[in-house]
Amino acid sequence: MAALLVLSLLQAFVVKPFQVPSESMSPTLEAGDRILADRITLIASDPRPGDVVVFSRPEAWETDAAAPSPLRRAAGWVGDLVGFGPSNLDALVKRVIGEPGTTVQCCTADGRIEVDGTALDEDYVRNDLAFAPGQLDCDSVPASSRCFGPVTVPDGSFLVMGDNRASSSDSVVKCRGTASTDGCARFVPRDQVIGTVFAIVWPLDRLSSPLG
């Protein structure tokens, strides 16, 4: 019992394991990867742009998933307690792009995201949405689905995106292909950020830090 209590406290305040639920962060994180999220750092500081974070699904991020059965809930309770196996926590994993108060938009002439007017170098993105300057861009009709914004991140929230941009239901998925800024973006409240991902621990051939 004492060991379970210690394990529970470690997960609540120090480090918590999670299983990546989808391919939205591929190739940085693959579906099924077991990752570790640092919880201590967030006590003293906020997530920074470029951080990969685990967060509880905000209410605005609707899901079509069916409610779990009582047996599945029981298994999830055990998994949440010991840190392995099924979980009852509906958590997502994405990369922080915009901090509170920043303005994020896409795209520059060469198809890059801008934050407060500065273009990002995102070498972690491998599968982006189609963009061809002068042919399929933000001025073409139709516009490239890579385009969105500008969107200003509200206080106490973060704008997050998946590294697998062409297959990521993230903060700007409902804004793509338009210049609309009218409530299309979905943000992550600070109090729903659980931790910053710092390692892949399973499978063994993927042991690494995913922050590069």
Can 24 be counted among the known catalytic residues? yes
Catalytic choice (24, 144, 168, 171): 24
Catalytic choice (16, 26, 87, 94): 94
pLDDT digits (tens, 9 = 90+) for 168-195: 999 999 999 876 677 899 999 999 999 9
With a CB cutoff of 8 Å and minimum separation 6, the contacts of 1 are none
| pLDDT at res. 152 | 95
Of 6, 28, 38, nearest in space to 163 by CA? 28
Residue 206's pLDDT band (cuts 50, 70, 90): confident
Can 94 be counted among the known catalytic residues? yes
Q: Strand 15-19's sheet: what is its strand order?
A: 15-19, 34-38, 193-202, 52-56, 91-98, 157-161, 188-189
| pLDDT at res. 112 | 97
Q: What is the largest CA-CA distance in the chain?
A: 65
pLDDT digits (tens, 9 = 90+) for 21-69: 899 999 999 998 989 998 888 888 999 999 999 999 888 887 644 454 5
d(CA 93, CA 70): 26
pLDDT digits (tens, 9 = 90+) for 97-156: 999 999 999 999 999 999 999 999 999 998 999 999 999 999 999 999 999 989 999 999
95 phi, psi to nearest 5 deg: -105, 135
Per DSSP, 77 falls in state H
